[in-house]
């Protein structure tokens, strides 16, 4: 079993958690001044009658106030149980309307939907679909003049309609996945430009698409943009080194950030406020991921650990893995209970939250480099949430799709897709019909070596399944 660390890794162990960045008491203030009776002037008595229009206005104003008071009284009289029942009925009606719009509407669709949502929340939803995937169609490349450097990260909106991409030259581009066109772009900081992004390391977008956040290798701040217009909103300051990972908790504006300063920070973007810091890693953090639970999972690079931060419980689960001296570059959740990891030792590992050792591992998942005999570096992983389908990318430009066996205790190879360059980022569309890859001539975390013939592009891979 993975072991717990309680009340550690938080600055000021006895300090209470901040709520929206504030942990003080709210004081009631008294009126600062009172009007003296001596200073009041008497108002002369006016016996003139009020005009009819004023009478109508007064009556209308009184009627509105009476109706407002009556509605507030009704809300106050509603008990908590009655309110819960009313909201539940409203939610069921919304689900029924959504399911009726679908062609495959069947009897019992609402009950099936509720059951799937419950299992997903508990981390026990399993959809067996990977065996249906048999190959891919013609690849579609997205490229633009703004992306002159290697693509480092891509992020898909919750509905799968919009894609955001960032590169080492600091350029940020917003794409339409359906139309395969560029919607908006921001050029990076070049030459003598004072403002702009120097180099994008990571990014994330909130579930509702309101906030887009970016980690810039040119500064230690988190830059917050509007997901719709790409207008800059604010910089979040607090990390002491470059930000290496960003993720929003699902369906919230709670942001988790990881940095090379070895800390994880929690932010509330509704108030643009810092909440708390979490410590434990002994090396710079390389990746972070999260789903619905108030938890985050991080890979610690050369410290050889993966940590699950149980934020409410103020504890962490520690998983020691891979070979000593190797870096864990990426960790990715497939549901609330299982996750994958990969690094420069070439191992692709499957984990369960309740086991200290991997449930399954594939050594040298992408083979060996013929020039130096070293395992091919796993640089990216994508999972189709709550299913058994996984994709991994390597520095040799090969993307492999895998099927998870029963209880995630085995990995079966399905097929591969060959590109040219480093596969720095991978993501599935929510419907599982497409796999999107961010390709670059260098690794996203450094410039150790370069593939001159590689193009810095985004590749959309339409998948064929039965």
Grade residue 17 by pLDDT with cuts at 50, 70 and 90.
very low
Q: What local confidence, expressed as pLDDT, does residue 52 receive?
A: 43
Residue 288 pLDDT > 80: yes
Question: Distance between CA atoms of 229 and 232, rounded to whole angstroms?
Answer: 9
Q: Is residue 239 part of a domain?
A: yes
Residue 258 pLDDT > 90: yes
Question: Distance between CA atoms of 285 and 246, rounded to whole angstroms?
Answer: 11
Q: Is residue 35 part of a domain?
A: no
Q: What local confidence, expressed as pLDDT, does residue 33 receive?
A: 38
Q: What is the mean pLDDT of the chain?
A: 82
Q: Is residue 30 part of a domain?
A: no
Q: pLDDT digit string (tens) for 85-136?
A: 888 778 777 777 766 655 445 556 777 777 777 776 666 678 899 999 999 9
Residue 446 pLDDT > 50: yes
Q: What local confidence, expressed as pLDDT, does residue 266 receive?
A: 97
Report the domain count for the chain: 1
Q: What local confidence, expressed as pLDDT, does residue 45 receive?
A: 45
Residues found in the chain: 466
Q: What local confidence, expressed as pLDDT, does residue 41 receive?
A: 41
Q: Is residue 322 part of a domain?
A: yes
- Among 8-22, 184-198, 289-303, 416-430, where is mean pLDDT lowest? 8-22
Question: Distance between CA atoms of 436 and 204, rounded to whole angstroms?
Answer: 16
Q: Is residue 5 part of a domain?
A: no
Work out the average pLDDT over 398-426. Answer: 95
Q: Is residue 68 part of a domain?
A: no
Q: Which two tokens stand for residue 447?
A: 């410039």
Q: pLDDT digit string (tens) for 361-387?
A: 999 999 998 888 889 999 999 999 999
CATH code assigned at 328: 2.130.10.10
Strands across the sheet containing 315-320? 4-6, 315-320, 305-310, 295-299, 287-289
Predicted structure pTM score: 0.77
Q: List C-alpha distances in Å: 91 to 75, 114, 159, 288.
A: 19, 10, 20, 32
Q: What local confidence, expressed as pLDDT, does residue 94 receive?
A: 76
Question: Which range of residues forms the domain containing residue 437?
Answer: 130-190+197-465
Residue 58 pLDDT > 70: no
Q: Is residue 107 part of a domain?
A: no
- DSSP lists the bridge partners of residue 315 as 6, 310
Work out the average pLDDT over 231-240. Answer: 95
Work out the average pLDDT over 243-271. Answer: 96
Count of H helices and E strands in the chain? 3, 30
Q: Is residue 45 part of a domain?
A: no
Higher pLDDT, 14 or 359: 359
Question: Distance between CA atoms of 8 and 18, rounded to whole angstroms?
Answer: 16
């Amino acid at each position: 079993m993975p072991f717990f660390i309680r009340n550690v890794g938080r600055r000021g162990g006895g300090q209470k958690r901040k709520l929206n960045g504030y942990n003080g008491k709210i004081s009631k203030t008294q009126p600062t001044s009172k009007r003296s009776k001596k200073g009041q002037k008497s108002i002369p008595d006016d016996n003139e009658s009020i005009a009819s229009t004023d009478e109508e206005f007064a009556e209308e104003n009184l009627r509105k106030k009476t109706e407002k008071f009556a509605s507030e009284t009704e809300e106050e009289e509603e008990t908590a149980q009655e309110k819960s029942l009313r909201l539940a009925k409203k939610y069921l009606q919304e689900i029924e309307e959504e399911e009726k719009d679908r062609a495959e509407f069947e009897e019992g669709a609402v009950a099936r939907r509720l059951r799937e949502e419950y299992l997903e929340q508990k981390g026990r939803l399993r959809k067996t679909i990977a065996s249906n995937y048999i190959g891919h169609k013609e690849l579609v490349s997205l490229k633009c003049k703004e992306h002159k450097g290697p693509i480092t990260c891509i992020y898909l909106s919750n509905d799968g309609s919009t894609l955001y991409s960032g590169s080492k030259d600091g350029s940020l581009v917003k794409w339409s996945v359906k139309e395969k066109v560029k919607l908006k772009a921001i050029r990076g900081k070049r030459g003598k430009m004072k403002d702009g992004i120097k180099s994008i390391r990571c990014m994330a977008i909130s579930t509702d698409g309101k906030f887009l956040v970016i980690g810039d290798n040119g500064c230690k701040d988190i830059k917050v943009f509007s997901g719709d217009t790409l207008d800059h909103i604010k910089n979040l300051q607090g990390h002491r080194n470059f930000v290496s990972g960003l993720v929003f908790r699902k369906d919230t504006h709670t942001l988790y950030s990881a940095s090379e300063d070895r800390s994880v920070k929690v932010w509330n973007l509704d108030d643009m406020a810092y909440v708390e810091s979490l410590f434990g890693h002994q090396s710079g953090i390389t990746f972070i991921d999260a789903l619905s639970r108030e938890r985050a999972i991080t890979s610690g690079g050369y410290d050889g650990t993966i940590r699950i931060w149980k934020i409410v419980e103020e504890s962490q689960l520690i998983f020691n893995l891979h070979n000593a001296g190797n870096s864990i570059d990426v960790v990715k959740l497939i549901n609330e209970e299982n996750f994958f990891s990969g690094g420069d030792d070439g191992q692709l590992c499957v984990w369960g939250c309740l086991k200290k050792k991997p449930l399954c591992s594939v050594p040298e998942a992408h083979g060996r480099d013929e020039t130096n005999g070293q395992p091919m570096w796993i640089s990216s992983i994508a999972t189709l949430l709550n299913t058994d389908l996984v994709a991994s990318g390597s520095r040799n430009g090969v993307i492999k799709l895998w099927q998870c066996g029963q209880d995630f205790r085995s990995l079966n190879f399905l097929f591969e897709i060959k590109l040219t360059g480093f596969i720095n980022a991978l993501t599935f569309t929510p419907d599982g019909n497409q796999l999107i890859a961010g390709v670059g001539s260098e690794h996203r975390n450094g410039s150790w070596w370069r593939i001159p013939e590689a193009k810095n592009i985004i590749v959309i891979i339409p998948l064929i399944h039965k």
